[in-house]
Amino acid sequence: MRQSKSLGSLATWPSRSRSNNSRSNLADVSEAGQAWPTSADDYELLDECGKGVSAEVYRARCFTNGRIVGIKALNLEWLATPLDEVMHEAQLMKAYKHDAILPLYCSFVTGQELWMVMPYMEGGSVAHILRYKYPEGLSEVVIATIMRKVLEALAYVHKQGDIHRDVKAGNVLVDGEGNVKLGDFGVAATPEREADWRGPKTRNTFVGTPCWMAPEVLEQVSGYGTSADIWSFGITILEMAHGHAPFSKLPPMKVLLMTLQGPPPQLEASCGSRHFSRGMREVVARCLNKDPKKRPTAKELLEHKFFKQAKDAECLKRTLLADLPPLPQRCNEIRAGKAATMARENERASLASHISYVTDVAHGKTPLEINFLSARRSSRRRQSGALAASFPSSRSSSSSSSSSSSS
């Protein structure tokens, strides 16, 4: 039986030596007054709905109330953030009260995992929907409808003095009725929580996903504030328009250099058979200004004419979610196909590049020196691959021979 402890209140945590022979009586209470148990024994994991380097997401059932929920299980051994900071993040999520933000029912540690219990979002993430059904991207009206809700969520978060720091289609979730919610505040930050802030409402920690990260976040020179989320918001619009984020096929270090040294990506008037309005292109251009002081706020963007065309949740249910199979089935289909194999390869390459980056920074290397080393490593990998291809294994050779003889 797994040992569990709640993140709801430090004072109510059971000690690590507490007996596990009975279920925990600890419970977190949601805004609606619903009590949620904080023991893994009170939940049944039904289906896996997503998997990353350090976390897995499940569809689950709560035994005490019969509700279907989503559980995000984070492997604490893979998290670089100390547990007390993770506690702070959990409390931050529980404090948010907005219909466009995914609520956190409760959270607790069980074994080497942090379980975060949330509503089950049947539609899954917009990134998952793009990958499964819309690889070329979404229509302008659908994008406006989704991103207006994301913008409402950001306006609320920023008003609280917080920063999300990982805005992307993978963290924009849709339920079965077409309601959109911004989730995954696992790296959300408050300006007051650390001593390494440089100036009011800024932060200088390297957290987020490289393709969506603002230049000032990558530079880590003068810190960053809520405008970093606005850059990521603009990149997410491009992601939904094209089916993928700019530079998404490049290794993280190359993304870093392209973001810092190149011009900001922009939205073209047309993409295939789809046309994007001047208003939509203007929103992207304003969000992707390299000077964070010149980017609009989330509240200002809500007044832009592009978002006036946004529809309601019913529209997304009829369009975006139409004919989609259940989320667990989609996950299994993607996992069984070539796309899943490529995802695992990209994941390994991304992790290797990040480890190399951290190592190089720790040794005091400059970005240009890191770029040189990254290019040299890539060249060595290509040479190694070419060498392996020129000397096939004995197994493949014998298989080829037997195939030839049988023919």
Closest CA to 70 of 33, 43, 31: 43
For residues 21 and 32, the answer to whether their CB atoms sit within 8 Å is no
**What HEC string does the chain produce?**
CCCEEECCCHHHCCCCCCCCCCCCCCEEECCCCCEEECCHHHEEEEEEEEECCCEEEEEEEECCCCCEEEEEEEECCCCCCCHHHHHHHHHHHHHCCCCCECCCCEEEEECCEEEEEEECCCCEEHHHHHHHHCCCCCCHHHHHHHHHHHHHHHHHHHHCCCECCCCCHHHEEECCCCCEEECCCCCCECHHHCCCCCCCCCECCCCCCHHHCCHHHHHCCCCECCHHHHHHHHHHHHHHHHCCCCCCCCCHHHHHHHHHHCCCCCCCCEECCEECCHHHHHHHHHHCCCCHHHCCCHHHHCCCHHHHHCCCHHHHHHCCCCCCCCHHHHHHHHHHCHHHHHHHHHHHHHHHHHHHHHHHHHCCCCHHHHHHHHHHHHHHHHHHHHHHHHCCCHHHHHHHHHHHHHC
Residues taking part in catalysis: 166
